[in-house]
Amino acid sequence: MEKEIFRGVGTALVTPMNESGVDYDAMARLVDHQLEGGVDALIVCATTGEAPTLTDEEHIRTIKAVVDRVKGKIPVIAGTGSNYTDHAVEMSEKARDVGADGLLCVTPYYNKCTQRGLVESFYKIADATDLPMIVYSVPGRTGVKIMPDTCVELSKHPNIVGIKEATGDMATVVDIAAKCGDSFAIWSGNDDIVVPILSMGGSGCISVLANILPREARAICTRFFEGDIAGAAALQCRYKALIDALFSEVNPIPVKAALAAMGMMEDRLRLPLTPMEDGHRARLLELMRAEGLRV
């Protein structure tokens, strides 16, 4: 692949919180857990990181905290997307200034836009820095899908390197791969279809599962890239029930509950997100115990 920022698993990090705000001590523990687990990249202040509820100051300080803790060992990719393009430009410039290695930019949400609007918006953000940028298609949250022909246009920008594909629609993934080839990397945005996307030439996964099982999430990609397709598929199937439990309520509600049960952080979210319901929590903890996690 011509323009990969990373190959393998990038963890979509949660943003740990306490009564005072962002819990930077807990963030240090989470980053260390990820580095020890051997992940290939960290994605900060995106969907799983509750970016919409962070102030701009918290947002940039959190990116800097992760960059400082990682110390260049793996890429740190900053979520800087917005439904206001100029704000996304500003946040991207600030992320660059605190040392981010790349950007993740979601499609505009609520006000939405046309496919032409997507191209113009993403181009303006990409023009603002020299950082490589991944565009993020998650229409279940934003109401906007990045179409395959739009990916072709986006691939022409030297700073736009690929897509986090979270539509869950494999036909769309196949169409992007067919039309863009090696000029546009594809990362799975869904933990439950990593192997299918890798089979279409995908570069890896931006993973929620990796928050709690970094080594195991990475192994799915590693086995595939080493040619052990059956082994990768077996791991995909093994973790399917746990992945489903991690998405039994709106992300990141379950993964924060999981990390709190592991003693990594407080189980604290910002409204409108609320703590996990008891029945879903019990099922999640049961599945975590089955994987040997102490909860």
Catalytically active residues, by annotation: 136, 164
Token duo for residue 5: 């920022």
Rg for the chain, CA atoms, rounded: 18
Token duo for residue 23: 């819990």
The SS3 call for residue 204 is strand
10 Å Cβ neighbour count for 151?
25
User: How many whole angstroms separate alpha carbon 62 and alpha carbon 56?
Assistant: 10
Instruction: Write down the residue that tokens 């799975």 correspond to.
Output: 188
Q: Which residues contact 44 (CB under 8 A, 6 or more apart)?
A: 13, 15, 62, 63, 66, 76, 77, 78, 79, 100
User: How many whole angstroms separate alpha carbon 23 and alpha carbon 2?
Assistant: 37
Residues 88 and 82: beta-carbon distance below 8 Å: yes
Does the N-terminal peptide bond of residue 252 adopt cis geometry, omega within 30 degrees of 0? yes
